Amino acid sequence: MKKRSFLIPALALLILAGCKNKDSQPMENPFFSAWNTPYEIPDFSRIKTEHYMPAFREGMARQKAEIDSIVNNPEAPTFENTILPYEYSGQLLGEVSRVFFNLSECENSPEMEAIEEEVTPLLAAHGDDIALNAKLFQRIKAVYDQRDNLGLNPEQMRLLEETYKGFVRGGANVPADQQERFRQLNEQIASLTMRFAQNVLKATNAYSKELPDGSKVTLDMPTWEPFMQTCADRKLREEVWHAFTDRCKEGEFDNTKIIDTLVNLRLERANILGFPTHADWVLDDCLAKTPANVYKCLLDIWKPALKVAKQERDLYQKMLEKDEPGAKLQPWDWRYYSEKLRKEKYALDDAEVRPYFSLDSVRAGAFMVANKLYGLTFTERTDLPTYDKEARCFEVKDGDQVIGILYMDFHPRASKRSGAWMTEFRGQHRTLEGENVIPIIQVVCNFTKPTADKPSLLNFDESETLFHEFGHALHGLLSKCTYPSLAGTNVPRDFVELPSQVMENWCRHPQVMKMYAHHYQTGEAIPDELIKKIESAATYGQGFMTTELLAASLLDMDYYSIREKQAIDPLQFEELAMNKIGLIPEIISRYRSPYFQHIFTTGYDAGYYSYTWTAILDADAFEAFAESGDLFNPDLAAKFRHLLESGNTVEPMDLYRAFRGKDPSPKALLKRKGML
């Protein structure tokens, strides 16, 4: 399976991509003075937990003063005295927020959790104070209403339009008699999402099973999935399966009541904003636009995917009957027999593949592709500040010019959330004075740690995950925008996965594999025979992988398409949703509701469909390179680089059409999955 990764979203309105012109003050708190570090990287060694709350409070106070200054300006509203100062407000708050929330994902502790619990409602209230500031919105609206007469350039116009839209979506038009309830909803939603995430992390860390061979299995994917693929003991597979899929459905870390409350609160908030469902509110700001469009996209692929999944099930059932006559295939059997048949049918064994995909080789391969496409080089810098000894830091250059800093943090820790993601400690932008500020990007994964005699060896799915997150990183690193809120990955959610997913195509292409996949002991390039096995097996298991992904996407849409407040039992709701689409009992949704962090904590609520939506774009985009006969076609690379550089300064589909010369077609995706 793949795509357990996801991008950590920006905190809307509140945490603006940061600018670094902070006032210097002779105070001990490191957030209150400029970083005296290369590239003004956060000075991680000086930051202590006791610094966060004072910095949060000071950051909120400063932004409040900045907003008051805009509101109380006696001059008529203009782009220069209203839109620009609002865009660049909250610099300190944005900085401390990014450092804190990024580290809370990968360096968590009871002290960090306590800070998160304290600051979350404060941040929600502060965001509402801005979003519901009637006088501020009046000034923004006044500028927006005269936008056609201001002589703005396209990027300025885009900023004005997005700022106005953001305020409307954030509640600026909420009637006065509903504003207090609106504030309560935002605060409750913020607190619930935080608790949900903490429960998942604690439940994941709470389980560890000693195995007869002296090793142990945990619920981290790098150990859990290989165990499920190779363990011949069916009862043991069942036990470990339930440990994984039953997380947070009851007991100390129960998330079911949180889901019930959260879904209904999001519905109520959407209603106050004038939308019939939470999904309608979310999608109004996405390419898909409506729930109906999302359902159609998902169900069009669901039918052929389910058909293939049923064929796969029948094969595995026959294999199980040979081992245990009369036994019925169960979800905890699927990975075991799938891997067994894959070895038999394609003579492809993960143990044969992994030696050619050491973590360093795959990382170097991703860097090589970026070099051939965009001319970028990556130099490791061990002298730059870092937040953990396992986090590696790279200086990114375009020619002789440093364009960004990239942190890569690859291995599991008890303090680290599972999965893989990209985020930023600072986004690219230009200051008010016109100086370009380079981005500081973070990629976080959870790959098996190296041992004393063996490096971290990835399976092919994990290799694609690294390329995927690196694609997000390139989106941030190559940004060439003026305004923080339009730069880098600040694009609609159903477009943001294009730069990441398209990179996977280079990862899996035979020509590229020969360039980077080398045996970790001998240095030998991956043999053609093994490449052919990987290529032949590329469509193997696609029924399962596509079906479980679509099931999760449809479950997400069902939660957020409810139109009336109702008592929700997540386990029952999920069962009804899966029965409705005919999901076979041998497969479950990729994520069970109680630990489905994408849709309950990390900003993919009514948005998990975007992985499928964007897959159509990424397959179609790579088809352009394949059709050209040159995987690194310089003309196409230049056009795609322009797409990456442009952030949200242009309508995303206009950027795509400028690259491709036409609208995307789903044919390339279905062809890639072997479903045409």
Q: Region 355-369: what's the mean pLDDT?
A: 98
The token pair that represents 162 in the structure block: 């997005």
Mean pLDDT of 597-605: 93
DSSP 208: E
Q: Per residue in 168-216, pLDDT tens?
A: 999 999 999 999 999 999 999 999 999 999 999 999 999 999 998 989 9
The pLDDT score that the predictor gives to residue 353 is 94
Model confidence band, residue 5 (pLDDT cutoffs 50, 70, 90): very low
More confident residue, 105 or 539: 105
Q: Calculate helix-pair angle for 610-628, 498-508, nearest 10 degrees.
A: 50
Task: Report how far apart, in Å, the C-alpha atoms of 618 and of each of 495, 503, 538, 624 are.
Answer: 10, 8, 16, 10
Helix-helix angle 634-645:610-628, to 10 degrees: 150
Q: Rounded to 5 degrees, what are φ and ψ at 33?
A: -145, 160
Confidence of residue 99 (pLDDT cuts 50, 70, 90): very high
Q: What is the mean pLDDT of residues 617-628?
A: 95
Residue 598 has pLDDT above 90, yes or no: yes
pLDDT at 27: 54
Which pLDDT belongs to residue 25? 43
Residue 1, pLDDT > 60, answer no
Average pLDDT, the chain: 93
Q: Is 469 a catalytic residue?
A: yes
> With bands split at pLDDT 50, 70 and 90, how would you rate the model's confidence at 26?
very low
Q: What is the pLDDT of residues 538-567, one digit of tens each?
A: 888 999 999 999 999 999 999 999 999 999
Mean pLDDT of 355-363: 98
Q: Does domain 30-193 have CATH number 3.10.20.30?
A: no
Query: Could you tell me the pTM of the whole model?
Result: 0.87
The sign of the torsion formed by the CA atoms of 659, 662, 665, 667 equals negative
Q: Which two tokens mark 291?
A: 């729930």
Class of domain 194-354+544-608: mainly alpha
Residue carrying the six token digits 């509140």:
14
* Segment holding 405, helix H or strand E: strand 401-409
Q: Does residue 423 sit in helix, strand or coil? A: strand
Any idea where the domains of the chain sit in the sequence?
Answer: 30-193, 194-354+544-608
Kindly tell me if the per-residue pLDDT of 520 is higher than 90: yes
- Residue with structure tokens 């894959």? 342
Catalytic residue, chosen from 87, 469, 574, 586, is 469
Specify the DSSP class assigned to residue 60. H
Q: What is the pLDDT of residues 230-266, one digit of tens each?
A: 999 999 999 999 999 999 999 999 999 999 999 999 9
Sign of CA dihedral 32, 36, 39, 43: negative
Asked if domains 30-193 and 194-354+544-608 share a fold, the reply is: yes
Give yes or no for a contact between 587 and 312, defined as CB atoms under 8 angstroms apart.
no
Does residue 15 have a pLDDT over 60? no
